[in-house]
Amino acid sequence: MSMAALRERIEAQFVEEARPDMLLAADSDRARREMIREVAEYVLVVESLHLSRAETLALYDELFANLFRFGPLSPFFEDDTLSEITIDGPDRVYIRHGAADMLQTDRHFEDTEQLARITQRVLSTAGVQFSDAEPFTEVGAALGKRHVRLTIAAPPISPLLHVNIRLHPTQPFTLADLITREMVSQAAADQLVSGLHEGRGLMIAGDVGTGKTTLLQALLAELPAHSAVVERSAELYISPDMEANHGNDFALQIDKALEKHPPWLVLDEIRFDEGRALWAALSSEVRCLWTFRGATDQNRLRAAFNMSVRRAQPTVEQSAIDTALVDRLPMVALLARRESALRLIMLGIWTRDAAQPDTIRLVPLAI
């Protein structure tokens, strides 16, 4: 039996034996390697195979990479400067360092089947499966010491198996780190902190990969104990004194968080097609710190917000929506990628227009 065939045999046995609860319980690399060792030793006995110590260690490393990392991409997860990996089928892999442009790498998978197997197994460690019935999924996971967001699109909604991996640093960035990296200025940081301490809600908006979760993470330290955090993907490092909520039904998690009447409700990230949950949260007395994936143009941002609320609550008047923004989410931080760097491009306050009291506009703050 070749080493490749032996590896596949052990992987198949591992998948057969490892229940989802066992995978979730194995929350350290040491525990995961022990699971692999036990299965591998069983297969070697059944197949009457004997390997040298060097062969055994190399086999265990490859099994670990395929079962709990991303196979041939595993070395990338040791590089803390790497921020994103995009996989378009088995032979097209792209990486991003920091906020630089994406670059194609020469690393690849053996074939589509290997890519699918590894993707499925990594998802299983987060208690998630994808199938023909559910060909799209977005979930947070831990790969080694890195918190990551996995976005997977499979046929029939994508011609190839597409995997995007957003990698967070092993140690989350503080606000001071973001100032050093020139993502935010000292003046902007001071405005954000003082606004939160005064109880002003904050909306962080920007396109994919512009640092919304990174800024949110840095601001969590400014919130009081027992604040509720609802994540679409489990990416944030949340302190034990906060209430963490995440799951497939994002709107349901928001409802559960609101039932506890937290001092702050943190959402990462709410989408404009979730108007019912959005409006329920804005109608409560809880203070809000939210991220949105969307436009950084204030008119388009407000229009998308309006459409979202009206889709779920068609009878709500425009004045009520504007009041909700002014009262519950008065501060807005707009993020974008500029010259291969992530930047806070505007920090503003929703304000009623003196010339047109029935409308609001985003007034920039000096940053």
Least Cα distance to 232 among 140, 324, 129 occurs for: 140
Residues 162 and 180 both lie in one domain: no
The continuous run of DSSP H or E covering 268 comes out as strand 264-270
Residues 226 and 333 both lie in one domain: yes
What is the C-alpha to C-alpha distance for residues 266 and 300, in angstroms, rounded to an integer? 23
Mean pLDDT of the chain: 87
Cα torsion at 208, 181, 301, 354 (round to 10°)? 180
Q: List the single range of 11-20, 83-92, 302-311 with lowest mean pLDDT.
A: 11-20
- In this predicted model, what pLDDT tens digit does every residue of 278-309 receive, in sequence order? 888 888 889 999 998 877 888 888 888 888 88
Residues 166 and 202 both lie in one domain: no
Residue 61: count other Cβ atoms within 10 Å of its Cβ. 13
Least Cα distance to 98 among 80, 75, 72, 76 occurs for: 80
Residue pair 231/244 in contact (Cβ under 8 Å)? The answer is: yes
Q: What pLDDT score does 104 carry?
A: 95
Number of domains in the chain: 3
The residue range of the domain holding 43 is 1-68
DSSP string, 43-96: HHHHTT----HHHHHHHHHHHHHHHHS-GGGGGGGG-TTEEEEEEESTT-EEEE
| Cis, peptide link before residue 357, omega less than 30° from 0 | no
Strand partners, 229: 244, 266
What is the C-alpha to C-alpha distance for residues 44 and 161, in angstroms, rounded to an integer? 33
Question: Confidence class of residue 180 from pLDDT cuts 50, 70 and 90?
Answer: very high
User: In this model, does residue 135 exceed pLDDT 70?
Assistant: yes
What is the C-alpha to C-alpha distance for residues 84 and 81, in angstroms, rounded to an integer? 9
Helices marked H in the chain — which ranges? Answer: 3-17, 20-25, 29-46, 53-68, 112-124, 175-180, 186-197, 212-219, 250-259, 275-282, 298-312, 318-328
What is the C-alpha to C-alpha distance for residues 356 and 363, in angstroms, rounded to an integer? 14
Question: Confidence class of residue 89 from pLDDT cuts 50, 70 and 90?
Answer: very high
What is the C-alpha to C-alpha distance for residues 216 and 199, in angstroms, rounded to an integer? 16
Distance of CA 243 to CAs 220, 230, 239, 297, 319, Å?
A: 12, 8, 9, 32, 33
Residues 18 and 147 both lie in one domain: no
Out of 20, 49, 68, a domain closes at: 68
User: In this model, does residue 208 exceed pLDDT 90?
Assistant: no
Residues 154 and 185 both lie in one domain: no
- In this predicted model, what pLDDT tens digit does every residue of 19-43 receive, in sequence order? 666 766 677 788 888 989 999 999 9
Please, which residues have CB within 8 angstroms of residue 148's CB and are 6 or more apart in sequence?
140, 141, 142, 165, 166, 167, 168, 235
CATH of the domain at 327: 3.40.50.300
Q: What pLDDT score does 313 carry?
A: 82
Out of 68, 83, 108, a domain closes at: 68
Beta-sheet pairing, 93-97 with 136-143 = unpaired
Residues 99 and 200 both lie in one domain: no
Q: List the single range of 173-177, 274-278, 284-288 with lowest mean pLDDT.
A: 274-278
Q: What pLDDT score does 24 carry?
A: 62
Residues 309 and 267 both lie in one domain: yes
Q: What pLDDT score does 273 carry?
A: 66
Residue 323: φ, ψ to 5°? -65, -40
Q: List the single range of 18-27, 83-92, 215-224, 254-263 with lowest mean pLDDT.
A: 18-27
What is the C-alpha to C-alpha distance for residues 318 and 309, in angstroms, rounded to an integer? 10
Q: What pLDDT score does 76 carry?
A: 87
User: In this model, does residue 125 exceed pLDDT 80?
Assistant: no
Residues 271 and 331 both lie in one domain: yes
pTM of the predicted protein model: 0.78
Residues 327 and 313 both lie in one domain: yes
User: In this model, does residue 339 exceed pLDDT 90?
Assistant: no
Residues 327 and 251 both lie in one domain: yes
Mean pLDDT of 2-17: 86
Name the DSSP letter for residue 182: T
Residue pair 127/24 in contact (Cβ under 8 Å)? The answer is: yes
The label of the residue with tokens 């993907």 reads: 233
Q: What pLDDT score does 272 carry?
A: 66
In the chain, what percentage of residues exceed pLDDT 90?
A: 38
